[in-house]
Amino acid sequence: MTKEQNHLRDIVVAAIIAALYVALTYLSQMFGLGYGAVQLRLSEMLNCLVIFNKRYIWGVTLGCILANLSSTLGVVDILWGSAETLIALTVIYFVAKKLPNLKAKLVASVVIGTFFMFLIALELTVLLQLPFWMTYLTTALGEFVSMAIGAILIYFISQRVDLAS
């Protein structure tokens, strides 16, 4: 594959991931769990893909930006929420590069993704005057559940599909 073909493939994969992120977020919102202090964004499962290839950082972040266009918090959530995603995914990517095996990388992605929800709790605390620690608990719990399910699914998918190339 030429460099241009490889670059085009990365763009297409990132676009597909972004579209999947948006669809899963909207599905979560159908149950009232896509935004707010209590959220279980199914789309956050896709964060686990980052351990395979950095192109997923851009796909998931773009998906988050697009999904947050529907947020009741407006521009702040588009910028702040998406920045949180970019930061968490970047940290996950670099930490995973140093870990020895797939299971360790997946566990690290879940822990790191859950940890960084403090930035979302901070956003909700500032904008909606919600109590920080309770908001952190509820958003982190939703993130943990979604990413743990994602880690399991992606583990089994990766046994059949090469997610790295």
pLDDT of residue 18: 98
CATH of domain 3-158: 1.10.1760
pLDDT of residue 165: 84
The overall average pLDDT reported for the chain is 96
* Region for 32 from its dihedrals, namely left if φ exceeds 0, alpha if ψ lies in -120 to 50, beta otherwise: left
Q: Which single residue is written with the structure tokens 């950095």? A: 54
**Low-confidence residues of the chain, pLDDT below 70?**
none
Query: 33: closest CA among 125, 113, 152, 139?
Result: 139
pLDDT of residue 111: 98
Domain parsing of the chain, residue ranges: 3-158
Interval 102-138: pLDDT, tens: 999 999 999 999 999 999 999 999 999 999 999 999 9
Residue type for position 9: R
* b/e burial code for range 31-55 (CB count within 10 A of at least 16 → b): eebbbbbebbbbbbbbbbbbbbbeb
List CB contacts of 138: < 8 A, sequence separation 6 or more. 37, 38, 39
pLDDT of residue 50: 98
